[in-house]
Amino acid sequence: MIIFDEKKYAENLIKNGYKNEKYIVMDNIILVKYWKSIGLSEDEIKNKLRIFMVKFQELFNDNIIKYKLNSAMKVGMKYDLLTDICVGITNKEIEQIKTLETIELQRMMFILLTVWRFKGSPKRFRINNTDLMNLSGVKLNSNTFWDYIHQITKTNLLSMVEYRNKSYYQINIEENWEIVLHINKFDNVIDYYMSIIEPEKYMFCDKCGVPFLPTGNNQKYCKICWEERNRELWRENKRKHRNVQV
Protein backbone atom coordinates (compact mmCIF):
# COMPACT_ATOMS: atom_id res chain seq x y z
CA MET A 1 0.00 0.00 0.00
CA ILE A 2 1.35 3.42 -0.92
CA ILE A 3 0.77 6.23 1.52
CA PHE A 4 1.12 9.58 -0.17
CA ASP A 5 0.47 11.70 2.90
CA GLU A 6 1.60 10.22 6.19
CA LYS A 7 0.29 13.16 8.21
CA LYS A 8 -3.24 12.59 7.00
CA TYR A 9 -2.80 8.85 7.43
CA ALA A 10 -1.59 9.25 11.04
CA GLU A 11 -4.43 11.61 11.96
CA ASN A 12 -6.91 9.13 10.60
CA LEU A 13 -5.24 6.29 12.46
CA ILE A 14 -5.39 8.15 15.76
CA LYS A 15 -9.07 8.85 15.21
CA ASN A 16 -10.13 5.39 14.03
CA GLY A 17 -7.49 2.90 15.19
CA TYR A 18 -5.68 0.23 13.21
CA LYS A 19 -7.54 -0.76 10.08
CA ASN A 20 -5.76 -3.97 9.17
CA GLU A 21 -3.62 -6.28 11.25
CA LYS A 22 -1.30 -6.65 8.27
CA TYR A 23 -0.17 -3.03 8.49
CA ILE A 24 0.44 -2.67 12.22
CA VAL A 25 4.22 -2.55 11.97
CA MET A 26 4.02 0.21 9.36
CA ASP A 27 1.24 2.01 11.23
CA ASN A 28 3.29 2.15 14.42
CA ILE A 29 6.28 3.59 12.60
CA ILE A 30 4.12 6.29 11.02
CA LEU A 31 2.64 7.16 14.42
CA VAL A 32 6.13 7.57 15.87
CA LYS A 33 7.15 9.81 12.97
CA TYR A 34 3.96 11.83 13.34
CA TRP A 35 4.36 12.46 17.05
CA LYS A 36 8.00 13.33 16.49
CA SER A 37 6.94 15.84 13.81
CA ILE A 38 4.68 17.71 16.25
CA GLY A 39 7.54 18.06 18.70
CA LEU A 40 6.98 15.35 21.31
CA SER A 41 9.98 13.92 23.14
CA GLU A 42 11.09 10.33 22.77
CA ASP A 43 9.59 9.38 26.14
CA GLU A 44 6.30 11.06 25.35
CA ILE A 45 6.09 9.26 22.01
CA LYS A 46 6.83 5.90 23.58
CA ASN A 47 4.16 6.50 26.17
CA LYS A 48 1.58 7.59 23.61
CA LEU A 49 2.23 4.57 21.43
CA ARG A 50 1.94 2.22 24.41
CA ILE A 51 -1.43 3.76 25.33
CA PHE A 52 -2.55 3.50 21.71
CA MET A 53 -1.59 -0.17 21.47
CA VAL A 54 -3.28 -0.99 24.75
CA LYS A 55 -6.42 0.74 23.53
CA PHE A 56 -6.54 -1.67 20.59
CA GLN A 57 -5.39 -4.55 22.72
CA GLU A 58 -7.48 -7.21 21.07
CA LEU A 59 -4.77 -7.23 18.39
CA PHE A 60 -1.87 -7.70 20.80
CA ASN A 61 -0.58 -10.00 23.46
CA ASP A 62 0.66 -8.09 26.45
CA ASN A 63 4.09 -9.61 26.08
CA ILE A 64 4.64 -8.40 22.53
CA ILE A 65 3.70 -4.76 23.15
CA LYS A 66 7.13 -3.95 24.54
CA TYR A 67 8.85 -5.60 21.60
CA LYS A 68 6.61 -3.91 18.99
CA LEU A 69 7.05 -0.58 20.76
CA ASN A 70 10.83 -0.74 20.67
CA SER A 71 11.04 -1.77 17.04
CA ALA A 72 8.67 1.03 15.95
CA MET A 73 10.67 3.57 17.96
CA LYS A 74 13.93 2.41 16.43
CA VAL A 75 12.80 2.99 12.85
CA GLY A 76 10.37 5.87 13.37
CA MET A 77 12.82 8.11 15.21
CA LYS A 78 15.25 7.82 12.29
CA TYR A 79 13.01 9.15 9.52
CA ASP A 80 10.85 12.19 8.84
CA LEU A 81 7.13 12.13 8.24
CA LEU A 82 6.32 12.21 4.51
CA THR A 83 3.78 14.93 3.95
CA ASP A 84 3.17 17.84 1.55
CA ILE A 85 5.06 16.19 -1.27
CA CYS A 86 4.63 17.70 -4.71
CA VAL A 87 5.32 15.71 -7.85
CA GLY A 88 6.03 17.58 -11.09
CA ILE A 89 5.21 16.07 -14.46
CA THR A 90 6.58 17.68 -17.61
CA ASN A 91 4.86 18.21 -20.94
CA LYS A 92 7.42 15.97 -22.62
CA GLU A 93 6.45 13.14 -20.28
CA ILE A 94 2.77 13.65 -21.04
CA GLU A 95 3.55 13.56 -24.76
CA GLN A 96 5.46 10.30 -24.36
CA ILE A 97 2.66 8.70 -22.35
CA LYS A 98 0.15 9.75 -25.00
CA THR A 99 2.03 7.68 -27.59
CA LEU A 100 0.84 4.49 -25.86
CA GLU A 101 -1.89 2.84 -27.87
CA THR A 102 -4.79 2.63 -25.46
CA ILE A 103 -6.06 4.85 -22.67
CA GLU A 104 -5.64 1.96 -20.18
CA LEU A 105 -1.93 1.70 -20.98
CA GLN A 106 -1.61 5.46 -20.71
CA ARG A 107 -3.33 5.54 -17.32
CA MET A 108 -1.09 2.79 -15.97
CA MET A 109 2.05 4.48 -17.27
CA PHE A 110 0.98 7.81 -15.78
CA ILE A 111 0.62 6.17 -12.37
CA LEU A 112 3.98 4.40 -12.70
CA LEU A 113 5.60 7.72 -13.54
CA THR A 114 3.89 9.57 -10.68
CA VAL A 115 4.78 6.91 -8.11
CA TRP A 116 8.36 6.81 -9.37
CA ARG A 117 8.65 10.59 -8.97
CA PHE A 118 6.95 10.44 -5.59
CA LYS A 119 9.62 7.98 -4.45
CA GLY A 120 12.32 10.41 -5.59
CA SER A 121 13.02 9.00 -9.08
CA PRO A 122 15.07 5.98 -7.91
CA LYS A 123 17.02 3.71 -10.25
CA ARG A 124 14.36 1.01 -9.84
CA PHE A 125 11.20 0.74 -7.80
CA ARG A 126 8.27 -1.50 -6.99
CA ILE A 127 4.55 -1.00 -6.69
CA ASN A 128 2.14 -3.86 -6.12
CA ASN A 129 -0.34 -4.77 -8.84
CA THR A 130 -3.38 -3.89 -6.76
CA ASP A 131 -2.08 -0.39 -6.00
CA LEU A 132 -1.26 0.19 -9.64
CA MET A 133 -4.71 -0.96 -10.75
CA ASN A 134 -6.54 1.01 -8.05
CA LEU A 135 -4.65 4.23 -8.71
CA SER A 136 -5.04 4.01 -12.47
CA GLY A 137 -8.62 2.76 -12.32
CA VAL A 138 -7.75 -0.09 -14.68
CA LYS A 139 -9.03 -3.42 -13.35
CA LEU A 140 -7.47 -6.54 -14.84
CA ASN A 141 -6.92 -10.16 -14.02
CA SER A 142 -3.36 -11.24 -13.39
CA ASN A 143 -2.68 -12.49 -16.94
CA THR A 144 -4.02 -9.40 -18.64
CA PHE A 145 -2.18 -7.23 -16.14
CA TRP A 146 1.20 -8.63 -17.15
CA ASP A 147 0.20 -8.51 -20.79
CA TYR A 148 -0.49 -4.77 -20.43
CA ILE A 149 2.81 -4.21 -18.63
CA HIS A 150 4.53 -6.10 -21.40
CA GLN A 151 2.89 -3.85 -23.98
CA ILE A 152 4.13 -0.75 -22.16
CA THR A 153 7.65 -2.13 -22.04
CA LYS A 154 7.65 -2.49 -25.83
CA THR A 155 8.08 1.26 -25.91
CA ASN A 156 11.21 2.63 -24.32
CA LEU A 157 9.35 4.25 -21.44
CA LEU A 158 9.41 1.31 -19.08
CA SER A 159 11.51 -1.77 -18.46
CA MET A 160 11.38 -4.60 -15.97
CA VAL A 161 14.67 -5.42 -14.28
CA GLU A 162 15.73 -8.17 -11.92
CA TYR A 163 17.64 -7.22 -8.82
CA ARG A 164 18.49 -9.69 -6.08
CA ASN A 165 15.83 -12.08 -7.33
CA LYS A 166 13.05 -9.52 -7.33
CA SER A 167 11.43 -7.73 -10.26
CA TYR A 168 11.50 -3.97 -10.40
CA TYR A 169 10.19 -1.30 -12.70
CA GLN A 170 12.61 1.04 -14.32
CA ILE A 171 11.55 4.24 -16.02
CA ASN A 172 13.51 5.61 -18.91
CA ILE A 173 12.04 8.98 -19.60
CA GLU A 174 13.84 11.99 -20.94
CA GLU A 175 14.15 14.71 -18.37
CA ASN A 176 13.16 18.21 -19.24
CA TRP A 177 11.99 20.94 -16.94
CA GLU A 178 8.78 22.36 -18.30
CA ILE A 179 6.49 21.15 -15.58
CA VAL A 180 2.84 21.20 -16.60
CA LEU A 181 1.34 19.23 -13.69
CA HIS A 182 2.02 19.94 -10.05
CA ILE A 183 0.55 17.01 -8.18
CA ASN A 184 0.07 17.58 -4.49
CA LYS A 185 -3.20 15.76 -3.80
CA PHE A 186 -3.13 12.05 -4.41
CA ASP A 187 -6.70 10.99 -3.59
CA ASN A 188 -7.68 10.68 -7.27
CA VAL A 189 -4.35 11.15 -8.87
CA ILE A 190 -5.41 9.75 -12.26
CA ASP A 191 -7.73 12.77 -12.69
CA TYR A 192 -4.66 14.93 -13.27
CA TYR A 193 -3.91 12.93 -16.40
CA MET A 194 -7.51 12.62 -17.54
CA SER A 195 -8.01 16.39 -17.22
CA ILE A 196 -5.39 16.78 -19.94
CA ILE A 197 -6.81 14.03 -22.16
CA GLU A 198 -10.46 15.08 -21.80
CA PRO A 199 -10.28 18.74 -20.73
CA GLU A 200 -13.91 19.37 -21.66
CA LYS A 201 -15.11 16.93 -19.01
CA TYR A 202 -13.04 18.14 -16.09
CA MET A 203 -13.21 21.05 -13.66
CA PHE A 204 -10.75 22.40 -11.14
CA CYS A 205 -11.70 22.74 -7.48
CA ASP A 206 -12.20 26.35 -6.35
CA LYS A 207 -10.60 25.59 -3.05
CA CYS A 208 -7.67 23.22 -3.57
CA GLY A 209 -7.18 23.35 -7.35
CA VAL A 210 -7.32 19.60 -8.07
CA PRO A 211 -8.98 18.46 -11.27
CA PHE A 212 -12.21 16.54 -10.75
CA LEU A 213 -15.00 15.00 -12.78
CA PRO A 214 -18.20 16.86 -11.89
CA THR A 215 -21.25 14.70 -11.24
CA GLY A 216 -23.79 17.51 -11.40
CA ASN A 217 -24.24 21.13 -12.40
CA ASN A 218 -22.65 24.09 -10.65
CA GLN A 219 -20.15 22.00 -8.77
CA LYS A 220 -17.34 24.23 -7.58
CA TYR A 221 -15.48 21.93 -5.26
CA CYS A 222 -13.88 18.51 -5.44
CA LYS A 223 -15.50 15.76 -3.36
CA ILE A 224 -13.11 16.15 -0.44
CA CYS A 225 -13.40 19.95 -0.21
CA TRP A 226 -17.15 19.70 -0.64
CA GLU A 227 -17.46 17.29 2.28
CA GLU A 228 -15.20 19.48 4.37
CA ARG A 229 -17.30 22.54 3.56
CA ASN A 230 -20.48 20.71 4.50
CA ARG A 231 -19.00 19.77 7.86
CA GLU A 232 -17.96 23.40 8.42
CA LEU A 233 -21.43 24.70 7.54
CA TRP A 234 -22.96 22.14 9.86
CA ARG A 235 -20.72 23.19 12.74
CA GLU A 236 -21.44 26.85 12.04
CA ASN A 237 -25.18 26.25 12.07
CA LYS A 238 -24.92 24.34 15.30
CA ARG A 239 -22.95 27.18 16.89
CA LYS A 240 -25.45 29.82 15.71
CA HIS A 241 -28.29 27.74 17.02
CA ARG A 242 -26.60 27.43 20.39
CA ASN A 243 -25.99 31.19 20.54
CA VAL A 244 -29.67 31.86 19.94
CA GLN A 245 -30.63 29.59 22.80
CA VAL A 246 -28.24 31.42 25.18
Binding residues vs Zn ion (CB under 5 A):
205, 207-208, 222, 225
Cα separation, 231 vs 140, whole angstroms? 37
Which is nearer to Zn ion, 143 or 218 (by Cβ)? 218
For the CB of residue 228, give the shortest distance to Zn ion in the complex, in Å: 8
Which is nearer to Zn ion, 173 or 189 (by Cβ)? 189
For the CB of residue 209, give the shortest distance to Zn ion in the complex, in Å: 7
Which is nearer to Zn ion, 160 or 224 (by Cβ)? 224
Cα separation, 147 vs 141, whole angstroms? 10
Amino acid at 90: T
> 193: closest CA among 94, 84, 87?
94
For the CB of residue 230, give the shortest distance to Zn ion in the complex, in Å: 13
Q: What is the DSSP string of 149-194?
A: HHHHHTSSSEEEEEETTEEEEEE-------EEEEE---TTTHHHHH
Q: 62: exposed, middle or buried (C-beta count within 10 Å: 0-12, 13-18, 19+)?
A: exposed
Which is nearer to Zn ion, 47 or 188 (by Cβ)? 188
> 138: closest CA among 175, 166, 168, 112?
112
For the CB of residue 72, give the shortest distance to Zn ion in the complex, in Å: 33
Which is nearer to Zn ion, 80 or 84 (by Cβ)? 84
For the CB of residue 226, give the shortest distance to Zn ion in the complex, in Å: 7
Which is nearer to Zn ion, 199 or 209 (by Cβ)? 209
For the CB of residue 201, give the shortest distance to Zn ion in the complex, in Å: 17
Cα separation, 51 vs 115, whole angstroms? 34
> 113: closest CA among 175, 162, 161?
175
Contacts with 32 (C-beta within 8 Å, 6 or more apart), sequence order: 45, 49, 72, 73, 75, 76, 77
Cα separation, 38 vs 25, whole angstroms? 21
Which is nearer to Zn ion, 170 or 219 (by Cβ)? 219
For the CB of residue 16, give the shortest distance to Zn ion in the complex, in Å: 22
